[in-house]
Structure 1
Amino acid sequence: MSDNVKISFLGAAGTVTGSKFLLETPWLNILVDCGFFQGLKELRELNWKNISIPPEEIDLVLLTHGHLDHTGYLPRLVKEGFKNDILGTSPTLAIAEVILRDSAKIQEEDAKRANEESFSIHHPAFPLYTEEDVAATLKLFHSVKTDEWLEISEKVKIRFRRNGHIIGATFIELELNGKIFVFSGDIGREKDDLLESPAKPEHADFLFLESTYGDRIHPIEDVENILEQAITKCLLDDSTLIIPSFAVERLQTLMYRIYNLHKKQKFTLPPVYIDSPMGHEVIKIFSRFMSWHKLDHEEFKRMKDFFRIITNYKDTWKVIEDPRPKVVIAGSGMVTGGRVLAYLKSYLEKPETQILLVGFQAEGTRGRQLQEGVPDVKIHGKYYKVEAAVKTINSLSAHADQNELLDWIADLETAPQRIFLVHGEKKASDVLRVKIKDRYGWKADIPHLGETVSLRV
């Protein structure tokens, strides 16, 4: 007997952020990921809209990994009435806790600042959710093991499998009435400094495949040489090198690469500061879950001890006011918020400053604006001229590129009945669609944001 399953693309459709996929089945209503929209204003405003189903009617939330664009809407969902289980691996839930607490804090601070300085169009400005909402959300977290099928009901089973990308990340296999739905989440690199290669699915009746870098191949770059040149210039110019960084994985990879420069003892490095409270917490998570990455305990400790980790905001200003050459790694990676904004407000208009972007910059973010060479950027209601030199390292991405995405589906025993390309800007998804057709002869669809599709299982 066949039944219909409705899949609604409530995020990460035609765009990279806001990942949310709602499955309405005869047995359970399941939400895969519950992410925050970032980037363009029209996308960010979607965070304030209720999703298409009353939250109390969702029976289960499954998380592929802990990034904000996959977990950041959870407290809002709980605030609006969701009270059931949220499942993910132990590192994913630990990462999500750090990210959600940080997100709530930033939103509360931004709302307070907007009200004090009157630069918001909303009077008064409110946060999307609070730290109290996050606390309520964390009570719903339940960890799962990888590679084991978990039977939710007679017709519903789920399995989480390691996927590289960041610590704890997985792709999810969801068996509904014998049909396999595969949600790729974000697929990691085949060769990663810190993480093992992603596992690959062997069967998928319905495949939901990320396409962030579906239109490009990551360049082959000598990352350590680029870092060495930037740091050397920083020393010669008595200047500051600012590296906006994601707190999860990218920060730890940068630590690994810069620490390798230190070990080679080519030259004496200036002080290297890590100014990311969230990053500091993620470093602790790496220490807790050693089996999820390649570094051994002693090497990890030596690497961590090399860096000057800042936790107090007062110390941020001490670093800013210090005229000596220095390297600062600070969140956020797309320059949308966090401590990096304080450094940019102080250093962006100084020509000797270097800014090194080391990750994907979504449409509408300050990082993308800097990458595209805008003459000025707006921070907290004020415009700052971009006099600093802006450079990009493209090869440190934690996302699989086009070839790696195509290889990730190579072990599928048979062609999926339907393929949906998600988590990508439209051009990237369309290029990957053509490549899948050329290599495998499979048709792939690119769903629209808010679209609902009925599938027979």
Structure 2
Amino acid sequence: MKITFIGGAGTVTGSKTLIESNGVRILIDCGLFQGVKSLRELNWEPLPVLPASIDYVLLTHGHLDHCGWLPLLVGQGFKGKIYCTRPTKEVTKLILLDSGKIQEEEANRANREHYSKHKPAIPLYTADQAEATFPMFRVIKPNEIIPLDAEISAIYRNAGHIIGACSITLFLEGKKLVFSGDIGRDNDPLMYPPVQPVEGDYVFLESTYGNRLHPHTDVKLELETYINNAINKGGTVIIPGFAVERAQTLMYLLWQLKKEQRIPDVPYIFDTPMGKRVLDIFTGNTSWHKLSIDECTKMSKMFSIVSDYQETLDIVENMQPKVIIAASGMVTGGRVLTYFEHYIGLPQTTVIIVGYQAEGTRGRKLLEGANEIKMYGQYYTVKANILQIEGLSAHADQAGLLNWLSLLQDKPKKVFLVHGENQPADELRIKVTERYGFDCTVPLMGQQIDL
């Protein structure tokens, strides 16, 4: 059996792990690279094997860094099956269509305003190419054995993180391979705690927060304080929101604060067309999260939910104090850039960063104190107040990741730490080795190993 770490090794993006066994090829996740240019350029590179030779894709969840390369895989010849849970299928369809649309729009804008070195600039893929992936999806139920091939099967178990997210155990050649996907938190406001594995010969564990512990702070109090301070200054609050789950968590917490009369009566705007549709996914999949349909309905009524881009432009022109949740969460694209163009240079503006910011993203640069950021070929001076709420992360921290391993009944032959930048992954490697005595390693991008 051969394992190739095509992506998601040494980085938190581009997750792709290839398993080759007895003539069968299985790809765990098929994510898009994001962040620094050297990573983004990898999206244009071919896979080390022909897509037509891959038999199955097993998706852990629907975030872009885990599913966003699927249109290219299909466009380059993949004709197999894509397995995932029902919410993951629904989320992935939204994510891919949105991604294709954004890439088309950005290519068109680059050509119109002549800021790309490519003549002409072309999208990585289009919305139509994204849609071509949909017939290949196969919905599975968690906790049930899924037969893939004659002697290969898989089982999905809830991972928390976002709606529909699962870890995957793959059974083949008499071995159990456990792929964590992204692990959620035990005390998430909306998601149920992740299910821990009890057996696994080889474990592939994410390490996004491998060197950090989430602070034990009152997230609602932080939101209350930041919003009140900003509104009292006559400013606007912009929260770059991941359209899936973090945006809904923010809506829930703000709704709670408003009910408790702890934040002011100003416009609360939810400007992510995809996030609006994710609300429908929450309503249609209530067994996957803690909210009732009634709670989903009531919290939505607090917000002006924007879909048309002209509404975005009208909101931008109205300088009254307001609170805006807009995608994307790492400020890599989407409606949040329109707000940043107008508000990032105003000292009364407050930007609240609430999720993980990958290396090279605008969100990471803002947290690192950048004085200017580049958008659509132009530089914008940063005068806004940049704040962070770490307690809203959808990822388990170091303690959570270590705890996820704690129920393994027998020592695995090896633990591979993936989906993390090098320093967090290596610090987690040391902790795993010290606590459990497991043979633990951090694979390199492109590395191939034999099991």
In percent, how many aligned pairs have the same letter?
A: 50
CA contact (8 A) 1:259 1:303 kept: yes
- Which runs of structure 2 are paired with 1:414-429 in the superposition (5 Å)? 414-429=410-425
Question: RMSD of the TM alignment (CA)?
Answer: 0.8
Q: 1:110 aligns with which of 106, 110, 122?
A: 106
Partner residue in 2 for 1:274: 270
Structure-2 separation of matches of 1:267 and 1:340: 22
Partner residue in 1 for 2:51: 55
Change (3 A) 1:367 1:267: closer
1:104-162, Cα deviation, whole Å (9 max, x unpaired): 00000011111111111111111111111111101111100000111223310100111
Partner residue in 1 for 2:359: 363
Structure-2 separation of matches of 1:122 and 1:267: 47
Structure-1 separation of matches of 2:276 and 2:295: 17
- How far is the alpha carbon of 1:266 from its aligned partner? 3.2
Partner residue in 1 for 2:220: 224
Does 1:10 pair with 2:25? no
- How far is the alpha carbon of 1:278 from its aligned partner? 1.1
CA contact (8 A) 2:355 2:393 kept: yes
- How far is the alpha carbon of 1:267 from its aligned partner? 4.8
Q: 2:75 aligns with which of 79, 82, 90?
A: 79
Partner residue in 2 for 1:258: 254
Partner residue in 2 for 1:172: 168
Q: Which runs of 5+ in 1 are unaligned?
A: none
- How far is the alpha carbon of 1:220 from its aligned partner? 1.2
- How far is the alpha carbon of 1:177 from its aligned partner? 2.1
Secondary structure of the equivalent of 2:162? coil
**Which of 60-69 and 300-309 deviates more?**
300-309
- Which runs of structure 2 are paired with 1:132-151 in the superposition (5 Å)? 132-151=128-147
Structure-2 separation of matches of 1:337 and 1:266: 32
- The one-letter code matched in structure 1 to 2:382 is V
Q: 2:118 aligns with which of 109, 117, 122?
A: 122
CA contact (8 A) 1:19 1:36 kept: yes
- Which runs of structure 2 are paired with 1:289-308 in the superposition (5 Å)? 289-308=285-304
Secondary structure of the equivalent of 1:51? coil
Normalised by the length of structure 2, the TM-score is 0.99
CA contact (8 A) 1:275 1:311 kept: yes
Structure-1 separation of matches of 2:365 and 2:265: 30
Partner residue in 1 for 2:207: 211
Q: 2:236 aligns with which of 234, 240, 256?
A: 240
Partner residue in 1 for 2:327: 331
Secondary structure of the equivalent of 2:19? strand
Structure-2 separation of matches of 1:409 and 1:13: 20
Structure-2 separation of matches of 1:103 and 1:431: 33
- The one-letter code matched in structure 2 to 1:425 is E
- The one-letter code matched in structure 2 to 1:340 is V
- How far is the alpha carbon of 1:306 from its aligned partner? 1.1
Q: 1:198 aligns with which of 194, 199, 221?
A: 194
- The one-letter code matched in structure 1 to 2:416 is F
**Which of 340-349 and 21-30 deviates more?**
21-30
Change (3 A) 1:267 1:90: closer
1:291-339, Cα deviation, whole Å (9 max, x unpaired): 1111111122111111110000000011111121100100000000000
- The one-letter code matched in structure 1 to 2:232 is L
1:185-244, Cα deviation, whole Å (9 max, x unpaired): 000001110011110111110110000001010011211111111221232122100000
- The one-letter code matched in structure 2 to 1:41 is K
Structure-1 separation of matches of 2:223 and 2:11: 31
- The one-letter code matched in structure 1 to 2:46 is N
CA contact (8 A) 1:173 1:181 kept: yes
Partner residue in 1 for 2:280: 284
**Count of residues in correspondence between the two structures:** 451
CA contact (8 A) 1:234 1:326 kept: no
- How far is the alpha carbon of 1:420 from its aligned partner? 0.6
Q: 2:338 aligns with which of 325, 332, 342?
A: 342
Q: 1:34 aligns with which of 21, 30, 42?
A: 30
- The one-letter code matched in structure 1 to 2:447 is E
Structure-2 separation of matches of 1:267 and 1:438: 45
- The one-letter code matched in structure 1 to 2:202 is F
Does 1:161 pair with 2:157? yes
CA contact (8 A) 1:19 1:34 kept: yes
Q: 2:403 aligns with which of 404, 407, 419?
A: 407
Secondary structure of the equivalent of 1:122? coil
CA contact (8 A) 1:27 1:155 kept: no
1:52-111, Cα deviation, whole Å (9 max, x unpaired): 100000000000000000000000000100011101000001000000000000000011
Secondary structure of the equivalent of 1:259? helix
Secondary structure of the equivalent of 2:440? coil
- How far is the alpha carbon of 1:27 from its aligned partner? 4.3
CA contact (8 A) 2:228 2:264 kept: no
Partner residue in 1 for 2:385: 389
Secondary structure of the equivalent of 1:34? coil
Does 1:379 pair with 2:361? no
Structure-1 separation of matches of 2:422 and 2:238: 31
Secondary structure of the equivalent of 1:395? helix
Secondary structure of the equivalent of 1:431? helix
Structure-2 separation of matches of 1:259 and 1:131: 33
CA contact (8 A) 1:231 1:269 kept: no
- How far is the alpha carbon of 1:252 from its aligned partner? 0.6
Normalised by the length of structure 1, the TM-score is 0.98
CA contact (8 A) 2:111 2:121 kept: yes
Secondary structure of the equivalent of 1:10? strand
Does 1:64 pair with 2:52? no
Structure-2 separation of matches of 1:303 and 1:262: 10
Structure-1 separation of matches of 2:45 and 2:406: 38
Structure-2 separation of matches of 1:83 and 1:154: 19
Structure-1 separation of matches of 2:262 and 2:326: 25
Structure-2 separation of matches of 1:413 and 1:166: 27
